[in-house]
Structure 1
Amino acid sequence: MANESLKENRILAAPVVVFLLAMLGFPAILDLIYSISTVSFENLRDPTISGFGNYRAVLGDPYFWSAVSFSTRFGLLTAALETALGLFLAVFLAPLIQRRFWLMAIFMMPMIIAPSMMGLMYRLVLHEFVGPLPYYLFEFFGESPAFLSPQLAFRTLVVIETLQWTPFTLLLFYTAYSSIPNDIREAAKVDGTRGLRLFTHIELPALLPTLVVAFGIRFIDGFRVFDNIYVLIGSGAGGSSTSLSIYIYTAFFKSADIGKALAASVLLFVVAFGLLWLVGWLLKKRRPA
C-alpha cells in the first residue's frame, strides 16, 4: 500500500519536475558552461571553453572577498534582527491580532513595497541636503548624521532591510504561535508553569522549527541582496556597500566579464543551496521518528 502511494505521488509530481527542469535546468547548464569559458558580448553565442580560470580569477579577486564579507555580515545581522523582532512582535501582539486580524494587513504593508522602490524612498528621505529626516534632526538638535556616508551606510542599510522584512517573520511566527494547541498551555498552567517559564519551556520549543526556517530564509535573502542597496547607495565609496549580487552585476554589465560574473553566480548558488540543505537537515533531525 505504501509503495502504491509513493508511486502515485511520483506520478503527480512528474509534471512539476519536468517543468522545473525545462525552465531552470537549461539556464543552469548554460551558466555552468559560460563560467568555464572565455566569453564576452562579442562571442556570446560561441564561447571558448578555457577551464577554471574564471573561478581562479574570482577567488583571487580581493573585491570578491570584500563582497562576500559584506553579504555575510549583512545577511547574518539582518536575519538575526528580523527573527528576534518578528518573534517578539508575534508573541506580544498575538492577543490583539486574534481580536482584530485586519491589523495584520497593515503590518504587512512594508513587505508589499518593491525593494527597489523602498530604496528609492529612503534615498529621498535620508538625502543629506533635501531629505526630511536630516532636515528635522538639524532643526531640533543642531546637527544631523550623514546616514549614507561610508561610516554609517552599513548600519542604515541594516535598519532599512530590517524594517521592510520583519513583517515576513512576524507572519511566520504568528501563524506558528497560533497553531500551538491551547490544551498544552492549559495543562502547563495547571502544573504552575506561567509567564516567561511557559514561553521558554513550552512555546519556544514548539516555535524552534519556524525560527530555523525564518532565520535561514532571511539570511539567504539578505546574503543575495541587490535592488534596494543598488538603488539607495550603489556599490558605495571604494566598494564599501558592494554585496555579492552587486559584484556579479558590475562584472557582467559594466566590465563585460561574463565568464567571471557567472563563475561568481555559480558560487553564490552553491552557497545558497548548501544553506537550504542545512536548514532542511536541521528540521529533519528535529522531526520525531
Structure 2
Amino acid sequence: MAKKYKLENAVLASPTALFLLVILGFPVVLSLVYGFSETSFETLRSPEFSGLKNLREVTTDDTFWQAAWFSFRFGSITAILECALGLALAVYLAPLINKYGWIVAVLIIPMIVAPAMMGLMYRLVLNEFAGPIPYYLYSWLGWSPAFLSPQNVFTTVVLAETFQWTPFAFLLFLTAYRSIPQEMREAATVDGTRPWRLFWKLELPLMMPTVFVAVFIRFIDGFRIFDNIYTLVGAGPGGSTTSMSIYVYETFLRRGEIGKSMAAAILLFAAAFILLSFAQWAMRRAFR
C-alpha cells in the first residue's frame, strides 16, 4: 500500500517537476555553455569552447572581487539589522497587535512596494539638489548631507534595504512569538521571572530556528541584491555599490562580454549553493 501511494505521488508530482526542470535547467545549462566559451552577441548560435579562460578573467578582475566583498558586506549587515529590528518590533508590539490588528498592515507597507520603485523613490527624495530630505535638513538644522556621495552611499543603500525588508523579518518573528505556548510564560511568571529574563531564557531559545532561517534568507537576498540599488545609484560612485548581480549585468549588457558574465554568474550560483549547503548543515547540527 505504501509503495502504491509513493507511486501515485510521484506520478502527480512529475508534471510540476518536469516543468521546473525545464524552466530552471535550461538557463543553467546555457550559462555553463557560454561560461566556458568565447562568444558575443554575433556568435550566440555558434560559441567557441575556450576552457577556463573566462573564469580566469573573472577571478583576476579586481572589480569582481570588489563586487563580491560589497555583496558579502551588504548581505551580512542588512541581515543583522533587519532581523534585530524585526525581532524587537515583534516582541514589543505583540501585545498591541492582539488589540489593534491594523498595526501589521501599516508595518508591511514598505515590503509591498516593488524594490525598483523603492530605489527610484529614494533617488528622488535623497537628491542633493532637489530632494526634500536634504532641503529640510538644511533649512531646519543647517546640515546639508550628500547621501549619495562616495563616503555615504554604502550607509544609504544599507538603510534603504533595511527599511524595506525589516517587515519581512517582523512577520516571521511575530508568528514564532505567537506560537510559544502561553502556559510556559505563565509558569515562568509565577516563578517570579522578570520580563527580560523570560525573553532571554525562554522565548528567544524557542525562536532561534526562526531567527536562523530569517537571517539566512535575508543574507542571501542581500547578497544577490540588484534592483533597488541599481535604480537608486546604479553601480555607485566609482563602482562603490557594484554587487555581484550588478557586475554580471554590466559585463553582459554594457560591455557585451557574454562569456565572462556567464562565468561570473556561475561563481555567484556556486557561492549561493555553498552558503545554502552550509546553512542546512548548521541547522541540522544546531537543532537536531
Is the pair's TM-score, using the shorter chain for normalization, greater than 0.5?
yes
Residue 276 of structure 1 deviates from its aligned partner by: 2.0
Comparing 112-121 and 11-20, the one that deviates more: 11-20
Give the AA of the match of 2:85: L
2:239 — aligned with what? 239
Q: Which runs of 5+ in 2 are unaligned?
A: none
Q: Which runs of 5+ in 1 are unaligned?
A: none
2:281 — aligned with what? 281
Q: CA deviation digits over 1:86-122, x for unaligned, max 9?
A: 0000001001112222221111110011111111101
Q: How does 1:1-289 map to 2 (within 5 A)?
A: 9-288=9-288
Measure the CA separation in 2 of the matches of 1:257 and 1:23.
24
Residue 59 of structure 1 deviates from its aligned partner by: 0.5
Q: Assess, with a 3 A threshold, how the Cα gap between structure 1 residues 99 and 263 changes in structure 2: closer, same or farther.
A: same
TM-score, normalized by length of structure 2? 0.95
Measure the CA separation in 2 of the matches of 1:184 and 1:72.
39
Q: Assess, with a 3 A threshold, how the Cα gap between structure 1 residues 37 and 154 changes in structure 2: closer, same or farther.
A: same
Give the AA of the match of 1:230: Y
Question: 8 Å contact 2:209–2:287 — kept in the other structure?
Answer: no
Measure the CA separation in 2 of the matches of 1:282 and 1:251.
35
Q: Assess, with a 3 A threshold, how the Cα gap between structure 1 residues 2 and 198 changes in structure 2: closer, same or farther.
A: farther
Measure the CA separation in 1 of the matches of 2:14 and 2:189.
48
Residue 84 of structure 1 deviates from its aligned partner by: 0.3
RMSD: 1.6
Give the AA of the match of 2:92: F
Residue 18 of structure 1 deviates from its aligned partner by: 1.6
Residue 54 of structure 1 deviates from its aligned partner by: 0.6
Measure the CA separation in 1 of the matches of 2:211 and 2:2.
32
Residue 53 of structure 1 deviates from its aligned partner by: 0.8
Residue 7 of structure 1 deviates from its aligned partner by: 5.2
Residue 27 of structure 1 deviates from its aligned partner by: 1.3
Q: Assess, with a 3 A threshold, how the Cα gap between structure 1 residues 203 and 148 changes in structure 2: closer, same or farther.
A: same
